[in-house]
Structure 1
Amino acid sequence: MRFGRTLIAAALLQLVGVAGASAADLRLEQYFAGHTVATGHFGAINGVSRDFKVKLTGTSSGKHFSLREDFRYADGETDRKTWRFTRTGPNTYRGTREDVVGDTEVKITGQTARFTYLVNLEPKGKPNIVRFHDSMVVQPDGSMINNAWVTKYGFPVARTHVVFTRP
């Protein structure tokens, strides 16, 4: 279950795109300011399938933005992860989290954030590194949908779907 839990946690917040920023471009620190909630599903080729809910708390100071994720899985298990982002340009961020290997670069294009990053699924054991490929898109109703593929050695091994809403 740790494998599935860690994959879900890692899938929630990564981003990418191109072009200069405009007034309509997504800004993570604005969208996730204060409290946000999410529901999601994770499914892997090994049969792991988990539904979850997340309460998110975003705070910012200047170019820095933190996003705490409090997960509750359908089986009652809980987990907490915290993203730390730095705005590096009009449409880019650099971010990391406890289980992320190195940093990720988030790129924003309009209302879409895309990013890819490495996650160590077993930080206290033998390393088990996978790559997440996230695409987060703000919808006309204000919700945000994150669809992510998870790959190992370039092969898809899991997928996650998360819907973020403002309470």
Structure 2
Amino acid sequence: MTILNYAKVTFAAICALLLVSCSAPNVEHYNNTSPEFDFKTFFSGNLKAYGVVQDYKGELTRKLVVDMHASWEGNQGVIEEDFIYDDGETQKRIWKVTLNDDKSLTGTADDVLGTAKGKSDGSVFHWNYDVELPYDGSTLTVNFDDWMYLVTQTRLINRTSIVKFGIEVGEVTLVIEKI
């Protein structure tokens, strides 16, 4: 093997190793964790969330509070979210969700492009969806990669990576509590 071929193989191996080390676990990784996350049970009734938004450098850009109300008819749910940001901006999102027998969930909302798809296992719920965010008098399409970790039966932590062109451009962290 020539030095050039050896360098190519080594470079490819290092790139593959970096890609594998940066990949997130799938939700099944959390199969045996507790408490067991039941989406319908947790997102039922009134909830309140407190959170922060950070930019790609990790710098705090906003704080927010979210009042939520969730109701169900069978496996069809509606989650109303009223966002209040520290600069006075308000936003409303109404999720229409369907809970499937295999613990997967689909959801739609006015600012969500297409359908959000997610699944829970153990104490964790993960879903992914594209959102149109207001930006500079227009809108910007980004991907939200949500990971929800049930800490107690009445409290969870939600970490959302905001991704554009495959690069994380921001992060939202919420503590959501049943009230």
For 1:112-131, list aligned pairs within 5 A.
112-122=124-134, 128-131=140-143
Q: Which secondary structure state, in structure 2, belongs to the residue aligned with residue 102 of structure 1?
A: strand
Runs of at least 5 residues in structure 1 that lack an aligned partner in the other structure: 1-15
| Structure holding more helix per residue | 2
Q: What is the percent sequence identity of the aligned residues?
A: 26
Q: 2:67 aligns with which of 45, 50, 55?
A: 55
CA RMSD of aligned residues (A): 2.5
- The residue type paired with residue 144 of structure 2 is F
1:104 maps to what in 2? 116
Q: TM-score of the superposition, structure 2-length normalised?
A: 0.74
Q: What per-residue deviation string (whole Å, max 9, x for no partner) do you get for residues 16-69 of structure 1? A: 73398xx96422221021101110001123877110111100000011011000
Letter in 2 for 1:109: D
Q: 1:44 and 1:84, CA in 2 relative to 1: closer, same or farther beyond 3 A?
A: same
Equivalent-residue separation in structure 2 for 1:17 and 1:93 (angstroms): 13
What is the total number of aligned residue pairs between the two structures? 149
Give the structure, 1 or 2, with the largest relative contact order (CA under 8 Å, sep 6 or more).
1
Name the SS for the 2:172 alignment partner.
strand
**Structure 1 residue runs of 4 or more that deviate by more than 2 Å after TM superposition:** 16-20, 45-48, 125-128
**1:18 is paired with a residue of what secondary structure?**
helix
Larger Rg: 2
Asked if residue 18 in structure 1 is aligned to residue 32 in structure 2, the reply is: no
Q: Which runs of 5+ in 2 are unaligned?
A: 1-25
Q: Which amino acid aligns with 1:44?
A: D
Within 2, Cα distance between the matches of 1:26 and 1:80? 25
**Which amino acid in 2 is paired with 1:78?**
T
**Structure 2: distance between partners of 1:126 and 1:161:** 25
The worse-fitting range, judged by mean Cα deviation, of 46-55 and 63-72 is 46-55
Render the CA deviation track for 1:87-136: whole Å, top value 9, x for unaligned.
1223111111111110011110111000111112249x765211111100
Match of 2:38 among 27, 33, 46: 27
Q: TM-score with structure 1 length normalisation? A: 0.79
Instruction: Please say if residues 54 and 61 of structure 2, whose CA atoms lie closer than 8 Å, have aligned partners that are also in contact.
Output: yes
